[in-house]
């Protein structure tokens, strides 16, 4: 299949502000949302995604397609699985059918099999329901055929969707396991199959923790705790909209065990409801404490048993109104996730996938004392993303704040600040530039951060119209879209209310 475009690098004609990201995937001139069918096969990462092939707002849901060898440079391809007069093609997953259990390929040349949600239209006998269907590829994911026997699994439900399928190997044998959702019941439903065509019900999980909106896009996978293969825990990811901790869309997770039939969450992953029936969302486990990381799922078949996730970098509160054209909406950076002991409990840590050779920093600072002062840093560069890596001892300072994509004179900027009194890290975009396109966009997101022997550790990626913050080695993550005014490229760090020591700070342009 002929490639249609290579991921552009901030083409000036895209918007008046030239804000197409450099490192984050966007479609050339259409709408995208949830990542779908993430799979690694024959040395290539495949990113499929919800796509409107005809416009830059939601609709005509089909699977778009892009490929990469490094998770940073993406090539866009024609639509992979298209909607038709009977169905929209909603979210799902892809597996490499190594054993040819489906019969779509051969033992020597296994097929890629997509399991997706058919959202049936009036032209279908299944109108008004959602069910799970199959498509398959025998040319390494470049062309797809829908299975004639679709749908393969239904529940006579209008909101049964988003199947994530994986191969389970356990004491009772091997099988395919599907995790999907009854979205409006806040339930994850599990099924198993020998051949991907015939499915048997296993169990149900939920409602639990954040359950004030629809549950969507689940994922279930094992991870070793602290890299110990003899200590395996299972992670259940459940995205929710609305009702996330920062408002609107977001992704929560549970740590627990899976026995091939049922997922059981650890008690320390569950937050009991208060007396009035509400749940303290800040006690739940979140993939990201920002406003713009949703529908996150992980790659199937990733090499080296790596667990790599990508999320949609947007929020349904304002998704269709983002001030970009002709493209609208993009993906997060890929993140490698691991399970580490944090305060005695297994918790996810996340690291962004960045270029192997980031080049020389534009500026490096070591052991600098700042007392109620501002330090100017290198500006962000047009056509480049900016990587800020910092280790700071807040000391007696009340706040340490980075101003990102700021105007000269300090009139506008996105502000990332640590408050020593509350031990909270806040990403504030209320005065970041263009916020008026939707009344829910201007916001400030925060998360509790525990210092490591008094040290605040930050890795910040600023990419034209986004800020992703990985704090304390990835134990806390905040991600927000921002739309700075033209020419706003300034970067500085400000210390107020005392003295802080910059142990190390490096600013690097990533092109």
Task: Mark whether 34 is an active-site residue.
Answer: yes
Q: 13: closest CA among 28, 35, 3?
A: 28
In order of 142, 157, 162, 163, 333, the CA distances from 191 in angstroms are: 28, 16, 13, 10, 31
189 strand-pairing partners: 180, 204
How much of the chain is helix, strand and coil, in % rounded to 5? 5, 50, 45
Cα separation, 124 vs 404, whole angstroms? 51
DSSP symbol at 440: T
- Among 78, 84, 94, 71, which Cα is nearest to 28's? 78
Answer yes or no: are the C-beta atoms of 92 and 116 closer than 8 Å.
yes
> Residues near 125 by Cβ (< 8 Å), separated by ≥ 6?
none
Of 14, 34, 317, 419, the catalytic one is 34
In 374-475, beta strands by DSSP E: 374-377, 385-393, 399-406, 414-419, 424-428, 444-448, 456-462, 466-471
Query: Which residues on neighbouring strands pair with residue 113, listed in sequence order?
Result: 95, 136
User: CA 159, CA 171: separation in Å to the nearest integer?
Assistant: 33
**Cβ(37)–Cβ(94) under 8 Å?**
yes
List residues with catalytic annotation: 34
């Amino acid at each position: 299949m002929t490639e249609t475009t290579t991921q552009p690098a901030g083409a000036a004609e895209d918007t008046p502000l030239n804000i197409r990201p450099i490192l984050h995937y966007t479609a050339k001139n259409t709408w995208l949302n949830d990542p779908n069918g993430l799979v690694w096969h024959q040395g290539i990462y495949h990113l499929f995604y919800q796509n409107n092939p005809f416009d830059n707002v939601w609709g005509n849901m089909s699977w778009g397609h892009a490929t990469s060898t490094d998770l940073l440079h993406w090539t866009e391809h024609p639509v992979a699985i298209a909607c038709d007069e009977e169905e929209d093609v909603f979210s799902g997953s892809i597996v490499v059918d190594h054993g040819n259990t489906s019969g779509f390929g051969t033992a020597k040349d296994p097929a890629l099999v997509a399991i997706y949600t058919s959202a049936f239209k009036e032209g279908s006998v299944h109108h008004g329901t959602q069910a799970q269907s199959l498509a398959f590829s025998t040319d390494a994911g470049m062309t797809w055929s829908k299975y004639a026997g679709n749908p393969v699994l239904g529940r006579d439900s209008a909101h049964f969707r988003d199947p994530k399928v994986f191969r389970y190997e356990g004491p009772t044998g091997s099988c395919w396991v599907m995790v999907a959702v009854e979205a409006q019941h806040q339930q994850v439903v599990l099924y198993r199959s020998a051949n991907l065509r015939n499915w048997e019900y296993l169990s149900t999980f939920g409602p639990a923790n954040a359950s004030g909106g629809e549950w969507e896009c689940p994922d279930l996978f094992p991870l070793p705790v602290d890299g110990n293969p003899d200590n395996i825990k299972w992670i259940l990811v459940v995205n929710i909209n609305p009702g996330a901790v920062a408002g609107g869309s977001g992704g929560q997770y549970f740590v627990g065990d899976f026995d091939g039939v049922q997922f059981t969450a650890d008690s320390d992953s569950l937050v009991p409801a208060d007396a009035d029936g509400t749940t303290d969302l800040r006690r739940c486990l979140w993939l990201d404490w920002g406003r713009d990381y949703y529908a996150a799922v992980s790659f199937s078949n990733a090499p080296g048993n790596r667990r790599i996730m990508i999320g949609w970098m947007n929020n349904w509160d304002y998704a269709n109104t983002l001030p970009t054209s002709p493209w609208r909406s993009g993906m997060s950076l890929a993140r490698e996730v691991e399970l580490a002991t944090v305060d005695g409990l297994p918790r996810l840590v996340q690291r962004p996938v960045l270029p192997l050779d980031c080049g020389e920093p534009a500026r490096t600072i070591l052991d600098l004392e700042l007392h109620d002062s501002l330090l100017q840093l290198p500006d962000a560069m047009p056509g480049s993303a900016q990587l800020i890596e910092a280790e700071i001892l807040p000391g007696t300072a009340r706040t340490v704040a980075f101003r990102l994509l700021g105007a000269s004179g300090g009139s506008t900027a996105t502000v990332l600040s640590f408050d020593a009194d509350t031990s909270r890290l806040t990403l504030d975009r209320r005065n970041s530039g263009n916020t008026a396109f939707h009344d829910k966009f201007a916001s400030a997101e925060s998360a509790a951060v525990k210092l490591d022997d008094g040290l605040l550790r930050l890795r910040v990626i600023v990419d034209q119209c986004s800020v992703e913050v990985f704090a304390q080695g990835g134990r806390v993550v905040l991600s927000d879209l921002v739309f700075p005014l033209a020419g706003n490229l300034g970067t500085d760090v400000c210390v107020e209310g005392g003295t802080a020591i910059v142990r190390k700070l490096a600013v690097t342009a990533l092109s």
